[in-house]
Amino acid sequence: MRLPDPALVVLVGPSGAGKSTWAAGRYRTEEVVSSDALRGVVGSGPHDLDASADAFALLETVVAARLGRGLTTVVDTLGLDADRRLAWLAAARAAGLPAVAVRMHTPDALCRQRNAARDRPVPAPVLAAQLKRAALVGTALDLEGWDLVHVVDTDEAPRVPEEAPRRVEGHTPRRGPDDRRSSQGLRVVLQVSRFPWGEDPAGWLRSVALAADEAGFAGLALMDHLIQIPQVGRAWEPIPEPWVTLGMLAGLDTRLDLGTLVTPVTFRPAGVVAKAAATLDALTGGRCFVGIGAGWWAREHAAYAVPFPSARERLDLLEDAIRTMRALWASGTKAYAGGRVDLPETTGYPRPAGRIPVVVGGGGERRTLRIAAELGDACNVASDPETLDRKIEVLRAHCRDVGRDPAEVAVTVLDLPVVGRDRADAWARVERLRGRSPAAAFARRTHAGTVADQRDRYGALADRGVDTVFLGLGDLAGPEDVLALADLVG
Ligand code: UTP
Ligand code: MG
């Protein structure tokens, strides 16, 4: 519907009805004269009620001046005061401009919900009084002589975000609308373990992440090591701190899930990991995951003065860490008594935007897979078919033991293939990467082949019950290598 223009437009409706939002979508900022904005001009801010008298005096001056010049003037106040309305109507008549009242007809519950979501809500009794007056204003407007009374109906579903769903241990992993899957039904997440970024670390990271998003990857995972591991590169090659790096990637416009694969539980107290992950989840609207493991490399711990307890103790730490994170991510602030982990309170803000999936890394059959079965949303094991079947069997057995539905614990694999444009290119890469390993053994271990070869293999992984493949490239150089995988992940 087109309203007369130029015109005087008087907004009418309680707080949270959507008056300012409606006006902002239709008029230039300069055309909207808002009592809240003027409170901010003459007072300490838009809600400085002590500044109301000065703000309204200024508002009247601006309205009169604009109408006097024949300029469209949108009066953004509650509009519930009949005397004020009639004065503006008279001023429009005097200026020869049509006068329009716009009544925001918004359900009371929605106004209350929006009001509650604000940083400085109007006190509940004040809002209740406004709602009462607003219910009666329709009749008054019809009798006042406006050239047009335009009613804006807001019966659409509230757009205020719902409270995050309550998180329960052992709840099915989320499957949102952004659950990207390949044609074979797999989620394929790019695992980045090497960072040949030359002189431009941020530019390289950005280009790789944008390429991953464009290629259709479901997410991007970062390895967490203090020194580059010998399996991937040289100790003097860069290996960035993952939470800092993920924070940068969170600022890019992508739909990628972002997380670690895996963070050793020894590096940071679990509560601090929970804080980092909740922050990342809040910043990305629910795209964070936490891959976590017991840690294995003594050298990096020694070099950074990080304690490296025995394997048994590290597995205990892993178990406690997951319980601690879950407790801190759960709603409320109540104390947590988990037996092994006791927290006097679980005050954690920002709250995660959704349930943060925990991926338990490692194929240790007695403890690691048991921890995954009991506490994880997923396990992460190696992708070679011989051991995969066995690990899945052990995981399922642990699930039965602890009374967990195996469908709630996704199987994910870390897959480190050598992928070539064609057969010749695949072999050239094998030759470059194999170090002292015999070429045939290296090619077999890395499933060297083309994208089509990898697709066949991924089909077989999906058939075995794999949910997610974390795909790492041992020779990742830049975005082109990522884009070349589009047919594998799409
Ligand atoms: P407004 O800030 O537009 O309400 O919307 P208002 O009527 O001008 O309220 P007062 O009188 O100044 O207090 C209130 C909240 O509702 C959201 C806005 O983003 C804002 O946070 N809103 C508004 C929606 O979500 N959808 C809409 O269609 C309109
Ligand atoms: Mg407003």
Averaged pLDDT for residues 169-184: 61
Percent with pLDDT over 90 in the chain: 84
Name the DSSP letter for residue 186: -
Does ligand 1 come within 6 angstroms of the Cβ of 114?
yes
- Ligand 1 atom closest to Cα of residue 13: 7
Residue labelled with tokens 């769903």 = 165
> Does the C-beta of 15 come closer than 6 Å to ligand 1?
yes
Per-residue model confidence (pLDDT) at position 140: 95
pTM score of the predicted model:
0.64
- Is the model more confident about 98 or about 159? 98
Is the pLDDT confidence value at 169 over 70? no
Summarize the chain as % helix, strand, coil (round to 5): 45, 15, 40
pLDDT (tens digit per residue) in 79-123: 999 999 999 999 999 999 999 999 999 999 999 999 989 888 899
pLDDT of residue 234 exceeding 80, the answer is yes
In order of their start, the domains of the chain are 8-153 (3.40.50.300), 187-489 (3.20.20.30)
- Taking the mean position of all CA atoms in its chain, how far away is CA 337? 29
CA of 134 to the centre of ligand 1 (A): 15
Which CA distances in Å does 261 have to 132, 328, 408? Answer: 55, 21, 19
- Decide whether any atom of ligand 1 lies within 6 Å of the 79 Cβ: no
> From the CA of 23, which ligand is nearest?
1
Q: What is the largest CA-CA distance in the chain?
A: 94
| Ligand 1 nearest atom to the CA of residue 118, by list position | 21
* Average pLDDT over all residues of the chain: 93
Q: Tell me whether the omega of the peptide bond preceding residue 350 falls within 30 degrees of 0, making it cis.
A: yes
**CB-based contacts of 168: which residues, under 8 Å, 6+ apart?**
none
One-character DSSP codes across 276-301: HHHHHHHHTTS-EEEEEE----HHHH
Per-residue confidence (pLDDT) for residue 102, from 0 to 100: 97
* Cβ atoms of 9 and 100 closer than 8 Å: yes
Distance 336 CA to ligand 2 centre (A): 41
- Cβ of 159 closer than 6 Å to ligand 1, yes or no, is yes
Q: What is the pLDDT of residue 177?
A: 52
Residue 174: band (very low, low, confident or very high) from pLDDT cuts 50, 70, 90: very low
CA atoms within 13 A on the CB side of 238: 15
Whether 454 contacts 182, CB under 8 Å: no
**Predicted local confidence at residue 2, as pLDDT:** 77
pLDDT at 331: 86
Please spell the DSSP secondary structure of 4-55, one letter per residue: PSS-EEEEE--TTSSHHHHHHTTS-GGGEEEHHHHHHHHSSSTT-GGGHHHH
Condensed to tens digits (0 to 9), the pLDDT of residues 411-438 reads 999 999 999 998 889 989 999 999 889 8
- Among the bound ligands, name the one nearest to the CA of residue 131: 1
Task: Give the pLDDT of residue 5.
Answer: 86
Please compute, for residue 207, the number of CA atoms within 13 A of its CA located in the half-sphere on the CB side. 14
Atom of ligand 1 nearest to the CA of 21: 3
**CB of residue 21 inside a 6 A radius of ligand 1:** yes
Ligand 1 mutation pick, 35, 36, 112, 114, max ligand atoms within 8 A of CB: 114
Taking residues 436-441, report their average pLDDT.
88
**156-160, 314-318, 476-480 — which is least confidently predicted?**
156-160
* Of the candidate ranges 70-74, 272-276, 304-308, the one whose mean pLDDT is the lowest: 70-74
Tens of pLDDT along 287-309?
A: 999 999 999 999 999 999 999 99
Strand partners, 323: none
Calculate mean pLDDT across residues 229-247: 97
Atom of ligand 1 nearest to the CA of 160: 25
Does residue 36's CB lie within 6 angstroms of at least one atom of ligand 1? yes
pLDDT band for position 440 (cuts 50, 70, 90): confident
Q: What does DSSP assign to residue 97?
A: -
Per-residue pLDDT tens digits for 197-231: 999 999 999 999 999 999 999 999 999 999 999 99
Q: What residue owns the CA closest to ligand 1's atom 5?
A: 18
Find out whether the beta carbon of 295 lies less than 6 Å from any atom of ligand 1.
no
Q: Which pLDDT does position 178 carry in this prediction?
A: 67
Closest Cα to atom 27, ligand 1: which residue?
18
Residue holding tokens 């094998």? 430
